[in-house]
Amino acid sequence: DGGITQSPKYLFRKEGQNVTLSCEQNLNHDAMYWYRQDPGQGLRLIYYSQIVNDFQKGDIAEGYSVSREKKESFPLTVTSAQKNPTAFYLCASSIGSNTEAFFGQGTRLTVV
Amino acid sequence: QKEVEQNSGPLSVPEGAIASLNCTYSDRGSQSFFWYRQYSGKSPELIMFIYSNGDKEDGRFTAQLNKASQYVSLLIRDSQPSDSATYLCAVNGWGKLVFGAGTILRVKS
């Protein structure tokens, strides 16, 4: 089945630890995005990539890092520099940079 | 000024009525416009997309775009209780897809 897979669905980490969230798509999409959603809030853009080996910072990139070494993969690392990492993280992809995007199921990260 | 603005609601409508959701955006260079629906605890799902000025209809949904006024709207006809959700407006300019904070819609039976 084609789609966007985020793993794990739930993730718990201790404060001060880096953690990497996985996002894989088999839709042959060029563009990929990472968003953060806090309770009762909208989606805030962390990073986006329009093509392999290239990515841009979104509105809240501080404390996060990404890589885009393969077309199908866009992992997000939440570093210890991120002051409030507990949130719902959503990955999306689209065929092109201005076309409709589709979302994975999300990863709920809790840092204690 | 936020890039994409929506009234947070909640917007309450009776079952069978028309729900009207609105969105404004700040970047005149924006090229594509989207409406997503998000149920509590779930990821957003695409409802409509629109690229050109005017109306676009799909079943009970109509998206309206006015680039001169930098305004996008979504009409839901014959609203059903299952339409109760948060509706997110998204705008894409130069590859950057930005979302509004969402409008909560409640359809009362």
Residue A41 banded pLDDT, cuts 50, 70, 90: confident
User: At CB < 8 Å, which residues of chain B contact A?
Assistant: 6, 31-32, 34, 42-46, 49, 88, 90, 92, 94-102
Q: What is the pLDDT of residue B95?
A: 84
Is cis: bond before A8, omega within 30 of 0?
Answer: yes
Q: What would the pLDDT profile of A47-62 be if each residue is shown by its tens digit? A: 999 999 999 999 999 9
Q: What would the pLDDT profile of A61-102 be if each residue is shown by its tens digit? A: 999 999 999 999 999 999 999 999 999 999 999 998 889 999
Percent of chain A with pLDDT over 70: 98
- Helix or strand (DSSP H, E) at A89: strand A87-94
Asked if A98 and B49 come within 8 Å (Cβ–Cβ), the reply is no
Residue B74 banded pLDDT, cuts 50, 70, 90: very high
How near does any CA of chain B get to the CA of A37, in Å?
10
Question: Which range, of A30-34, B6-10, B83-87, averages the lowest pLDDT?
Answer: B6-10
For B44-91, give the DSSP string: -EEEEEE-SSEEEEETTEEEEEETTTTEEEEEESS--GGG-EEEEEEE
* Type of residue found at B32: S
